[in-house]
Amino acid sequence: MALLEVKDLHTSFFTPAGEVKAVNGLSFNLDRRKVLGIVGESGSGKSVTAYSIMQILASTGKIVSGSIKFDGQELVGAGEKVMKTIRGNKISIIFQDPMTSLNPTYTIGHQLMEAILLHTNRNKHEARERAIEMLRLVNINEPEKRINQYPFEFSGGMRQRIMIAMALACEPDILIADEPTTALDVTIQAQILELMKSLQEELGMAIIMITHDLGVVAQMCDEVIVMYAGSACEQGTADEIFYNPAHEYTKGLMRSIPTADTAGTKLKPITGTPIDLLNLPKGCPFAPRCENAMKICIKERAERMQINEFHQANCWMNVKEGIENGSIEISKEGGEES
């Protein structure tokens, strides 16, 4: 059994302008000790997926349907009481912006101990010891002294390390990292990613890495989900996604990023702009920007197709090729999204 099973998740925001379908039929499994990357552009629903798992959506947002199972336990509709035992204890999250995620009016020690006191049986003294231990784990020098300091006394990279310490204090099984290094400089980013990787190996947790940076994904992730307009257009192992992309959007994305080899050449951008989530089309949401779009792409969304053992994609282009050489099987499950 997978540690986390997400099945046909639909999360919407109900705004005066109408229902915004931010996550629209997402399914995935996460095994222990794995790093899963969720990539996509802004508005593709990757952060909303994380917030849905944690059930920390804004008041206008709601999980409309679907199932999220942690270790076999259903979380959708489980209620706030159950979620309190999960959040911070079993599943932790770190946010993009370390500058605003810490409370400026409390010492970092206070903020670190809060989670420990809430979720474990440690007394204040033991919690403090644990907090110091965590700070040492994330390479903060002189933790005994630093624990009494306020967030403004730390640099951005250190604050993000404190956020990680806080998230890991109760030894969660899953760490959700929502753009953990986007606000940081490259050399600091390298430090944080290295730290996350080594902690993951040491503590044996699973990580969901949400990012728009394909470089971070390539470095960190075992498996990757590519999201577009609220649903996964492709998912598989990192090697499959990077070396054998099977969705036109992923292919376009790979072509459009500058690398060391593209200097002096033209990049091949994806034309157009992302679609409006208020008015999702009937067909493939990427079809209006897709240069190979066929008639069927506009009429009907492709079902989930098994490309190989490690790789699935929702793109009609695979069938076009597949029908010709007959090598692709179409699995009926999990498709049929409106």
Partner 1 sequence: MSENKTPLIEVKHLKEYFNINTGFMRSKPLKAVDDVSFSINQGETLGLVGESGCGKTTVGRTLLNLYKPTGGEIYYKGKQIKTKADINEFRKKATMVFQDPYSSLNPRMTVSDIIGEPLDIHKAYKTREERHEKILTLMDRVGLNSEHAARYAHEFSGGQRQRIGIARALALDPDFIVCDEPVSALDVSIQAQVINMFDELQQQMGLTYLFIAHDILVVRHISDRIAVMYLGKMVELADAAEIYEHPLHPYTKSLMSAVPQPDPKIARSNKRIVLSGDIPSPLNAPSGCPFHTRCPYATEECSQSMPEFKEISSGHFVACHKAAEIN
Residues in the site for partner 1, rule: CB under 8 A? 41-42, 155, 157-158, 185-191, 193-194, 212-219, 238-239, 242-243, 252-254, 256-260, 262-263, 266-271, 273-274
Among candidate residues 100, 98, 137, 131, the one with its CA nearest the CA of residue 114:
131
Contacts of 219 (CB under 8 A, 6+ apart): 193
Q: Interhelix angle for 108-119 vs 124-137, to 10°?
A: 120
Minimum CB distance to partner 1, residue 187 (Å)? 5
In this complex, which beta carbon is closest to partner 1, that of residue 56 or of residue 267?
Answer: 267
Closest to partner 1 by CB, 41 or 126: 41
Nearer to partner 1, 218 or 328 (CB): 218
> What distance, in Å, lies between the first and last C-alpha atoms of the chain?
29
Nearer to partner 1, 85 or 155 (CB): 155
Question: Counting beta carbons within 10 angstroms of the beta carbon of residue 175, is it exposed (0 to 12), middle (13 to 18) or buried (19 or more)?
Answer: buried
Contact residues for 253 (Cβ-Cβ < 8 A; gap 6+): 214, 226, 270
Smallest separation, CB 330 to partner 1 (Å):
28
CB of 46 to partner 1, least distance (A): 12
Q: Distance from CA of residue 149 to its chain's centroid?
A: 31
Contact present, 11 and 22 (Cβ < 8 Å): yes
CB 28 within 8 A of CB 6: yes
CA-wise closest residue to 321 among 221, 246, 230: 246
The CA-based angle 115-121-124, given to 5 degrees, is 65
Q: Which is nearer to partner 1, 16 or 269 (CB)?
A: 269
* Residue closer to partner 1, measured from CB, 255 or 299: 255
Distance of closest approach, residue 331 Cβ to partner 1, in angstroms: 26
- Nearest distance from residue 133's CB to partner 1, in Å? 20
User: Could you tell me if residue 204 is left (phi over 0), alpha (psi between -120 and 50 degrees) or otherwise beta?
Assistant: left
Closer CB to partner 1, 90 or 251, in the complex: 251
- CB 170, min distance to partner 1, A: 27
Give min distance, CB of 69 to partner 1, in A. Answer: 29
